[in-house]
Structures are given as C-alpha cells and as structure tokens.
Structure 1
C-alpha cells in the first residue's frame, strides 16, 4: 500500500445520531451509535433491513450530515482527508457502469480522478480476477463480474480502509466463496475491512468481528468467537404427560424457551442441556416421551434474539 495509506486505519463512530425529517414524521435512523473498527480484520456490520447501517456508512463518507455525534476514518472526518480515495474505498450501492465501456476503460475513467496512472486499472483487474475480461464490455457482465469490477474501482487508489455495503447481494455460492477469500486477503494485508449485511450466515465464515445494530442502536459488538459463546444449545421435548414434563423441568431448574413455530401444543424447548441429559432425567422420572431432539445453538438464533424488538418496543 502507498505511504499515504500507512497512517491510522481505524474507523470510529462516536455517539452518532441521524434524524430525518421533523415533528411527527421524524425518523431516527441512527440513535447514539458508537463503535470502533481496526485494521487487519474483517468486521461484519450487521442488522436487519432498516437498522441504520447504510446511513452510518454514508455518514462516514460525508454523504449524510449527522444530527449529532460524528464518524471518522483514520481520526479525521471524510471532508478533512486530502486524498480521500487513497484512504478509504467504498461501495455503498449497486455500481453504475456504462454498458458500452470495457472493464479497463471503466477504471481508466476513474483513475485520474483518484490520482493514479492508467496502468493501475490492469493491476486491480488482476487482483479481482477480471484480467481475462479486461476488454469485454461491461454490459455483458454477470452480476458476480460486476461486483468484482465494483471492488476493483474501490481499490484503484490502494486505500487502507474499505467500506462495503451488502457486497454479497445477489451472488451465487461460488461468488460468495470468492468474495470471502478476497476480503480475508485484504485484511491480511493490514487493511480495515467493514462489510455490512442483513444476513448473518452470508458473512459468518468471513468476519473476525461483529457490530450488530437494530433500530439505529448498537446491540452487540465483539469478536465473532464471543458471539458464538452466546449461542445456546436447545432440546425439543414432548410428552403426553404435560404436567409431568413441566414438573421435571421445574425440579431440574432448566431454562426453557418457547417452542418453534408449528410445534404441537405441549412441546417444550429446554435450553443449555443436551438430549442425553434430558432423556435420562425423563427415564428416571418414569416419564414417557414422544419426542426428544437436540441441536447446537446457532448464530442466527443469537442474531434474531439480539435484534428482535421487545414487547415495549425496545430492542432485546
């Protein structure tokens, strides 16, 4: 990376609030949000659609003026950067390409704007695996090829920070696998990579850290390994003796959750136990079971629990 890019590579959001509109029609898109992302790691910026992810990224890039608080890249606001493209590369929306231009010519249009020579176009096409298609018209590109070209555009000025909004949208499994490896290779070079998504499984095998937001607020931030530890084992158990099953669970002091949608009445979901433990306890109590199955807790369960509104409208 360039010497310009060797400076502070952190991304910081500090008590960011953004309210669109006013009065009864006001929408609080981001609500006192704070987090920090560092170099050498891929960070997943996660949350349901409408959680405030895109507004936050646009605030980082100076495209949205915060109502209060702020957001910085390398310790400075975007409008304070002397050569912004050499500090941060961003792809926030579906990229627009002239269908009649070749991939190389598309990049050559942007090269002088970000202060790099035309030959840099071939370098980044090689990086994203599009060198064989350099002279093909973009109008004939698949969605996956367009995603790669969008990434090539963000890398033209060799920025140390990358902000990518839903980069896996519409990709097939092969494209997602390629993207996963590519982002990890960029982080391995010491870059800061922040990737937004509303689908946790899409980035689960890619990210090192997670920042999860819901309704504009931070609900969780940690290494991915810590999120894994929040996943709870579940055992679905059913008995014709509903009272006996309730009594067994009460005596054992097991935590329970509501049954999955569509489960028969009387089913229970026991948390933090395995099927063998529950089955053995039922046998000792002489309790007949009609169903007993266990599953490890999933990150998707954790994600949904963190982002699900509580009955009072707050985020759980």
Structure 2
C-alpha cells in the first residue's frame, strides 16, 4: 500500500535580491508518486525556489506550498518534508552517526532510524568516521540520510548527484525511483539534464527565474536523430549526400542531421563510398535543454 502523497505548488513566485530578479512569476506543480527534475542552468533560480518552499527565503509575492500549506504552517514538518540543499552543512568533527543522532533527538524521532538510514544510503561502514574526512559523494549520501530521517512524504534535493561517481549515480537513480514508487513526492534539482535524464518522470525547466517547460520527460520534442558516419573518403560521401546537412566532427567523422540511417547507407552504396561506421545518434536531450534555457548549443 502506497503512502499518502503531498502535492507541491509554486504559484506566481517572485523574488528580487537588490537589482537582480531571481524569480519572476514562477508557477509549477509537482505531483506524488513521481520523480520530478527541477532543471535549469546555474543562476536560473532553482535554489531560491527551494529555499522559498522551505521557508528559508521570503518571496516578494506568490506562494510555495506543500499540500496547500506553507512549510512554517505544517503540523509536523520533519515527517512531512525531507530536504538536502547542500552537502556541507555538517560539523567536521562529528561522526556521521552522531550527526544523525543529534538530529533525531532534537526532532523527537526514534533514534533507531539512525542506523537504518545509514544502512539505506550505504554508510554503515563509515558511520563512526568523522564527517570532515568524507568525500563529497559520501557527504551527499549523509545529506540524503538526514533528509529521510523523519520518513517524510516529500523529498526535496538540490543537486544530489554532485560528487557521486557513476556507480553512485546509478544507486541514486534506483533509490529515488523506489521512493516515488511508494507514493512519495520527489523533487530533484540539477543544472545538467544528463545527470537526471534516466531518473526523472517529469521535468520543470526554468531559466532566469521563469518557467520554460513543464511536462513528462518523454514528451520533450528532440526532433529527428542524426546519423554518425565514418569513411576514408568524406568528400565523396558529401557529394553523394548533395543537399543534406552534413557537419564535420573531430576525429574525421561526419554528422548527417536530416537523413535516416537507411538513406545515408543507400546513398553511399549507390556511389561506391566505403563506410567504416554508420550509426544513429541518440536524441540529444542535453542540446535541447541548453537551447530551451538560452544557454547555446552543447559543446
């Protein structure tokens, strides 16, 4: 049986710091049972939005609520919302276990959850190590354990993949999906789409404090896939593909962006051009993301 989920609603959120408008009439929602990626380039306003949602920043106008209520009005906030905004808010001389134990005692939680959460995030063997000696990836895991300490229905994570190695990112992906499958509401911010592309179900994309796109990840229109080609005679292939959009890539490969694999292969065969590679390029979601947020083409 799933948990009772809580919806996140951001409505007309506006915040200015001095002469900088960090948020500009931002509106979006996050539903239970999904992992939602909160995406945008650095400086887009993601962290400011999350801080407004957690009552750490007062907006100039608009609202940010969980289950229709501001964070300060929640009856039991630590059991409702778990958040990790940065992986550096630890006393360096305190062990990982003691950090969670202090949190549990201060919040009136069952201290038995401390060891359970350390095990859940893979830190059992490091429980009695001082946090000052932790890598960034280990700090990320400890921050996640702290966010889960109250068994919250809503989880808010700011750049949780930062500092994780590929194995850690794969672990995080499965972990967050399992939490959403229980009916929890999971909101994960990132400025790199590829980090969360295999994790999230929904996306909220912002740029310069404004909403750019909201919807299911699978509904993002990436356009037709390109074809990557390698040949010892690229000039002959260009002639065979007269009128096609052909781009030279480092290493001698060509990228054909307006022809299918079959069309490129047939043109090469008909012209007697030897091919060493002919592969479809995956949909370039990262490039689309950069285009949507006005950050230019992917490098």
The TM-score, its normalising length taken from structure 2, stands at 0.83
Spell out the pairing of 1:25-104 with structure 2 (5 A cutoff): 26-104=19-97
Q: Which residue of 1 aligns with 2:292?
A: 306
3-state SS in 2 of match to 1:35 = strand
- Distance across 2 between alignment mates of 1:296 and 1:117: 47
Q: Which residue of 2 aligns with 1:169?
A: 162
Unaligned 5+ segments in structure 2 are none
- Distance across 1 between alignment mates of 2:168 and 2:265: 43
Q: Which residue of 1 aligns with 2:10?
A: 13
Residues 245 and 147 of structure 1, relative CA distance in 2, 3 Å threshold = closer
Q: CA RMSD in A?
A: 3.2
- Distance across 1 between alignment mates of 2:84 and 2:51: 10
- Distance across 2 between alignment mates of 1:31 and 1:214: 10
Residues 27 and 291 of structure 1, relative CA distance in 2, 3 Å threshold = farther
Between Structure 1 and Structure 2, how many residues are aligned?
290
Choose from 205, 215, 232 the match for 1:212.
205
Are the counterparts in 2 of residues 162 and 194 from structure 1 also a CA contact under 8 Å? yes
Residues 225 and 268 of structure 1, relative CA distance in 2, 3 Å threshold = closer
1:28-78 Cα shifts (integer Å, max 9, x gaps): 111221111111111111111111111111111111111221111111111
Residues 300 and 7 of structure 1, relative CA distance in 2, 3 Å threshold = same
How far is 1:263 from its partner?
A: 11
- Distance across 1 between alignment mates of 2:137 and 2:255: 44
3-state SS in 2 of match to 1:104 = helix
The TM-score, its normalising length taken from structure 1, stands at 0.79
Residues 239 and 91 of structure 1, relative CA distance in 2, 3 Å threshold = same
3-state SS in 2 of match to 1:30 = strand
1:135 is the counterpart of 2:134: no
Residues 190 and 289 of structure 1, relative CA distance in 2, 3 Å threshold = same
Choose from 127, 142, 147 the match for 2:140.
147
3-state SS in 2 of match to 1:205 = coil
Unaligned 5+ segments in structure 1 are 250-255, 311-316
How far is 1:126 from its partner?
A: 2.1
How far is 1:86 from its partner?
A: 1.2
- Distance across 2 between alignment mates of 1:301 and 1:113: 45
Residues 156 and 309 of structure 1, relative CA distance in 2, 3 Å threshold = closer
How far is 1:230 from its partner?
A: 2.6
- Distance across 2 between alignment mates of 1:176 and 1:139: 22
3-state SS in 2 of match to 1:40 = coil
Are the counterparts in 1 of residues 226 and 255 from structure 2 also a CA contact under 8 Å? no
- Distance across 2 between alignment mates of 1:295 and 1:6: 40
